[in-house]
Chain A
Amino acid sequence: MSTLFFLLGLPLAGTVALALNGHRRFAPELNIAFSSGTFLAAAALTARVVAAGPLYAMEREFHIDALNVFLVALTAFVALTTAIFSRPYMRVKLEHGRMTPKRLRLYHSMYQLFSFTMLLALTTNNMGFLWVAMEAATLATVLLVSVYRTAASLEAAWKYFILCGVGIAQALFGTVLLYMAAERAGAGADGALLWTHLDAIKTSLDPRIMALAFAFLFVGYGTKVGLVPVHNWLPDAHAEGPTPVSAVLSGLLLNVALYAVLRCKVLTDGALGPGLAGQMMMAFGLLSVVVAAFFLSRQRDVKRMFAYSSIEHMGLATFAFGVGGPIATFAGLLHMTVHSLIKSALFFAVGHAAQHAGTQVMSEIRGLVRVNPTVGWGMMLGALAILGMPPFGVFASEFLILTTTMREQPWATPFLLVALGVAFAAVFKRVQPMVFGETELKPLPHPPALIPVFLHLGLGLMLGLYIPPYLEGWYREAARMVAG
């Protein structure tokens, strides 16, 4: 209870504190301090859940179980490392004049608000609050994406707002239908939107209402996952916003949106039996993987390219959850974790690289290993990891997903293999000359923060080689909850 209070209270306090002090010299350190506090609270909460099992708080309005606890820990961790990365990054932007003290204040404050909304979405037990938190996250990130106030960033933010606003409105209609189904199944007004309560009565939810509800919820939250064909906001928002924002969008927001879909899937499967939800997730997941892989090869902007790679990986995870069963679901959860770690590490490296080169256009970024070997190697290793090279964690999860697909849904295997192959060729062809090759790039005025990059890559590597038993226990428990 008290750890949960700190987990949600600290980022909220940080929002206020940084709204007042975000322009001062010590603001980045303050941002890191609040994020560290949140991470400590998340770690303490995780330890409690590992020791004592699922817990409730505030009259069951909050609920921590195996499915959300690892995402809480991951979210708090990536939010902390991104805050560390953003310190030198934003100093450079301040000197270039892209950021002003006023914008920096907005940026820091919204960064904390964004962590708050993510953690609220993860820990709440109320499907209504889940919606409110997701919408609030959209609002906070819209301001983060448009923080440079350039024409392109305004366009990206407007598109993001309108598309995600429309999407999330569909999810609200789905939530209304869910509430209607719950009332009909005899849930009292107070408990009718509590997920644990819905989970207990899921077999008596009306299947006709739940089928329609899931369609709306899936379209709604799927927009925020970045699934094709409602993905258009994602590359723009990633490319035009500051790089720390790209890192948290890919690393956190997409995961939390997929988590919302999973919660809805569990209820729908309970009401309808496995089928509809899984088929929809497989279809749109596979479509996202294939479309994103082919768009990857056409990109010239480095952040856009990795944004499409995020669509591809979220599609793969969605597909895995659609296939269902304990192994594919386990692989999907693992894939969410390693993708989040490695993609944010990649964005850290890309952010520094783009600052070295003064551009995000890939053909003008050359020879990073010569000017800054750690950034260069960070990018190379990150790219190899995200492409699914062993021994990184993405290899393990993709291998599991592929082998399960061959057994359960053999028709999908060729599509997945071709898409992964195309993505590999496209990304590797672009990254190789950026890292090696001749260069005239200049060093940066502030030393880049590289600990986050290698910390994330190290964890991604560890998850590929060895999953600690308690972590494996979580994944199994969470997979059991999702797969039923």
Chain B
Amino acid sequence: MTGLTQQLIDLFAALLLLLAFAMLAQRRILSLIHLYTLQGAVLVAAAAVMGYATRQPHLYVSAGVTLALKVFLIPSLLHRVINRLNVRWDLEMLINVPTTLIAGIVLVIFAFYLAAPIAGLAASIARGTLGIALACILLSFMMMITRSKAVPQVIGFLAMENGLFFAATAATYGMPMVVELGIALDVLVGILILGVFMFQIREQFDSLDIRHLEKLKDD
């Protein structure tokens, strides 16, 4: 039984890492949102399996909150934003895809190097996946750096939050419930504000290219 759950959790962790790489390479905004939704679904599955294996009911609750928020609510908000703004393509990347992916691999190795000494110390059955969680965080961070449009940057931000959520589940079976709810609320409000911002940026600059947002420099 534990062998199977262990393998399932490892499988989900591997899927998360794969999805993080897929997002790094993806040019289309619509596909990015699909990948983000998928990542949320994998997170829900991982939390639910861990809840089942450890008999911790609060993991089911946090899986439920994640399902509502990251699989349904946020993706639908993102879909509405791109429909209203009519931006479906994201052709430009600041660095080309192969270079980005190679840099991504280096980041993954770095993440494993950082996490290796402490991963064994966690009490959780998913301790081996802490390195993957850190890798997902760093990859999303890189995605934010390499994109020049507002929407992919926001998705990168959200993917980073997914990585953090997985880190919390892997290291400690999730944070205390109230804290987790607080974090979920912050993320939700944050995405609403960013959504409003995108409309305002578009109104000001007639474009969602954040390279317009480089006027403020020290001279």
Binding site for B on A (CB under 8 A): 126, 128-129, 131-132, 135-136, 139, 142-143, 146, 149-152, 154-159, 161-162, 165-166, 169, 172-173, 175-177, 179-180, 183-184, 189-190, 192-193, 206, 208-209, 212, 235-236, 239-240, 295, 298-300, 304
| A299 touching B218, Cβ below 8 Å | yes
* Min distance, Cβ A142 to any Cβ of chain B, angstroms: 6
Q: Report chain B residues within 8 Å CB of A190.
A: 176
Give the segment of B1-9, B41-49, B153-161 that binds chain A: B153-161
* Min distance, Cβ A125 to any Cβ of chain B, angstroms: 12
B73 contacts the other chain (Cβ, under 8 Å)?
A: no
Q: Report chain B residues within 8 Å CB of A212.
A: 114, 118
Sample of 9 more A-B contacts, CB < 8 Å, known A136-B189, A154-B213, A208-B121: A128-B178, A155-B214, A155-B216, A161-B190, A166-B160, A180-B123, A180-B171, A184-B122, A206-B121
For B217, the closest partner residue in chain A by CB is A236
Taking a contact as CB atoms closer than 8 A, the residue among B185, B204, B214 that contacts A154 in the complex is B204
Taking a contact as CB atoms closer than 8 A, the residue among B121, B189, B204 that contacts A180 in the complex is B121
| A299–B218 alpha-carbon span in the complex (Å) | 7
* Min distance, Cβ B81 to any Cβ of chain A, angstroms: 15
Which 4 pairs of residues, A with B, have the shortest CB-CB distance? Answer: A128-B179, A132-B182, A155-B213, A135-B186
Against A, the Cβ 8 Å flags (1 = close, 0 = not) of B206-219 are 00001011111011
Taking a contact as CB atoms closer than 8 A, the residue among B164, B178, B216 that contacts A176 in the complex is B164
| A149–B196 alpha-carbon span in the complex (Å) | 11
- With contacts A154-B213, A156-B216, A172-B164 taken as known, whether A139 is within 8 angstroms of B190 at the C-beta atoms is yes
- With contacts A139-B193, A142-B193, A165-B190 taken as known, whether A300 is within 8 angstroms of B219 at the C-beta atoms is yes
| A159–B214 alpha-carbon span in the complex (Å) | 9
Q: Report chain B residues within 8 Å CB of A176.
A: 164, 167-168, 171-172, 175
B137 contacts the other chain (Cβ, under 8 Å)?
A: yes
| A179–B124 alpha-carbon span in the complex (Å) | 12
| A172–B157 alpha-carbon span in the complex (Å) | 13
For B183, the closest partner residue in chain A by CB is A132
Taking a contact as CB atoms closer than 8 A, the residue among B176, B197, B216 that contacts A236 in the complex is B216
Taking a contact as CB atoms closer than 8 A, the residue among A126, A131, A161, A183 that contacts B197 in the complex is A161
| A328–B3 alpha-carbon span in the complex (Å) | 54
| A300–B218 alpha-carbon span in the complex (Å) | 9
| B193 touching A143, Cβ below 8 Å | yes
| B218 touching A139, Cβ below 8 Å | no
- With contacts A152-B215, A162-B157 taken as known, whether A173 is within 8 angstroms of B118 at the C-beta atoms is no
| A179 touching B186, Cβ below 8 Å | no
| A157 touching B197, Cβ below 8 Å | yes
For B182, the closest partner residue in chain A by CB is A132
For B120, the closest partner residue in chain A by CB is A208
Among A128, A136, A142, chain B packs the most CB atoms within 10 A around the CB of A128
| A154 touching B182, Cβ below 8 Å | no
| B216 touching A177, Cβ below 8 Å | no
* Min distance, Cβ B191 to any Cβ of chain A, angstroms: 10
Cross-chain pair count, CB within 8 angstroms: 133
| B193 touching A166, Cβ below 8 Å | no
B141 contacts the other chain (Cβ, under 8 Å)?
A: yes
B98 contacts the other chain (Cβ, under 8 Å)?
A: no
Within 8 A of A (CB), among B141-157: 141, 144, 150, 153, 157
| A339–B186 alpha-carbon span in the complex (Å) | 30
- With contacts A295-B218, A298-B218 taken as known, whether A169 is within 8 angstroms of B161 at the C-beta atoms is yes
- With contacts A165-B190, A209-B121 taken as known, whether A192 is within 8 angstroms of B176 at the C-beta atoms is yes
Contact sample, A vs B, 24 pairs, CB 8 Å cutoff: A128-B182, A129-B182, A135-B186, A135-B190, A136-B186, A136-B189, A149-B200, A152-B216, A154-B201, A154-B213, A156-B216, A161-B193, A166-B157, A169-B164, A173-B134, A173-B137, A176-B172, A192-B176, A206-B118, A208-B117, A212-B118, A239-B216, A298-B218, A300-B219
- With contacts A169-B160, A180-B122 taken as known, whether A158 is within 8 angstroms of B201 at the C-beta atoms is yes
- With contacts A158-B197, A177-B171 taken as known, whether A166 is within 8 angstroms of B219 at the C-beta atoms is no
| A169 touching B121, Cβ below 8 Å | no
B205 contacts the other chain (Cβ, under 8 Å)?
A: yes
| A64–B124 alpha-carbon span in the complex (Å) | 33
| B201 touching A128, Cβ below 8 Å | no
- With contacts A139-B190, A154-B197, A172-B183 taken as known, whether A179 is within 8 angstroms of B172 at the C-beta atoms is yes
Q: Report chain A residues within 8 Å CB of B68.
A: none
* Min distance, Cβ B17 to any Cβ of chain A, angstroms: 16
- With contacts A132-B182, A135-B186, A179-B175 taken as known, whether A173 is within 8 angstroms of B164 at the C-beta atoms is yes
B194 contacts the other chain (Cβ, under 8 Å)?
A: yes
| B168 touching A298, Cβ below 8 Å | no
| A393–B140 alpha-carbon span in the complex (Å) | 45
| A173–B165 alpha-carbon span in the complex (Å) | 9
Q: Report chain A residues within 8 Å CB of B123.
A: 180, 183-184
| A240 touching B216, Cβ below 8 Å | yes
For A206, the closest partner residue in chain B by CB is B121
Q: Report chain A residues within 8 Å CB of B194.
A: 161
| A158–B148 alpha-carbon span in the complex (Å) | 13
* Min distance, Cβ A13 to any Cβ of chain B, angstroms: 19
Q: Report chain A residues within 8 Å CB of B204.
A: 149-151, 154
Q: Report chain B residues within 8 Å CB of A126.
A: 176, 179
Q: Report chain A residues within 8 Å CB of B122.
A: 180, 184
* Min distance, Cβ A294 to any Cβ of chain B, angstroms: 11
